């Protein structure tokens, strides 16, 4: 059974149109879905990534001395302020001193976290952070 070339082209075009239409229909936003504006997206794209830029990273002071490392990030829902839990001091977990620090106090440059103005001695005098039970 032979099909004329014109019939084959029309059939193929119709088939591709149906497949493309189905694929486009799958990408339509869901009614009532939460979205962000393009302005919010620009701000978001310039933000810090908790996973990539903070967790497990060492924290240094202005003198380029390691003063601790980021153990956790806490976000308070009431104020929307993020705090980093910095593990300082200790050796193999002994005498480790965790402190809570507002993330706004850090500077990140070239993937290095700096806490300007802090010293190891100052961290030792800060209250120790304990998670609520």
**13 located within any domain:** no
Count up the domains in the chain and report the number.
Answer: 1
For residues 77 and 15, what is the distance between their CA atoms, to the nearest angstrom?
51
Neighbours of 101 (CB within 10 A): 20
Kindly report, residue by residue over 44-91, the tens digit of the pLDDT: 877 777 788 788 999 999 999 999 999 998 888 887 778 899 998 766
Q: Residue 96 maps to which CATH number? A: 2.30.30.240
> With a threshold of 0.75, does the pTM exceed it?
no
Kindly report, residue by residue over 7-30, the tens digit of the pLDDT: 545 455 545 454 445 444 455 555
**25 located within any domain:** no
For residues 59 and 77, what is the distance between their CA atoms, to the nearest angstrom?
25
């Amino acid at each position: 059974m032979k099909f004329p070339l014109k019939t084959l082209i029309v059939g193929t075009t119709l088939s591709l149109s149906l497949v493309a239409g189905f694929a486009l229909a799958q990408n339509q936003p869901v009614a009532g879905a939460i979205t962000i504006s393009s302005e919010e997206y620009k701000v978001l794209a310039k933000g810090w990534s908790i996973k990539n830029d903070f967790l497990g990273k060492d924290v240094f002071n202005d003198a380029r001395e390691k003063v601790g490392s980021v153990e956790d990030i806490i976000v308070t829902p009431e104020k929307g302020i993020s705090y980093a839990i910095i593990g300082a001091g200790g050796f193999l977990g002994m005498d480790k001193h965790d402190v809570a620090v507002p993330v706004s106090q850090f500077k990140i440059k070239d993937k290095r976290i700096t806490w300007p103005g802090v010293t190891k001695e100052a961290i030792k005098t800060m209250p120790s952070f304990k998670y609520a039970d």
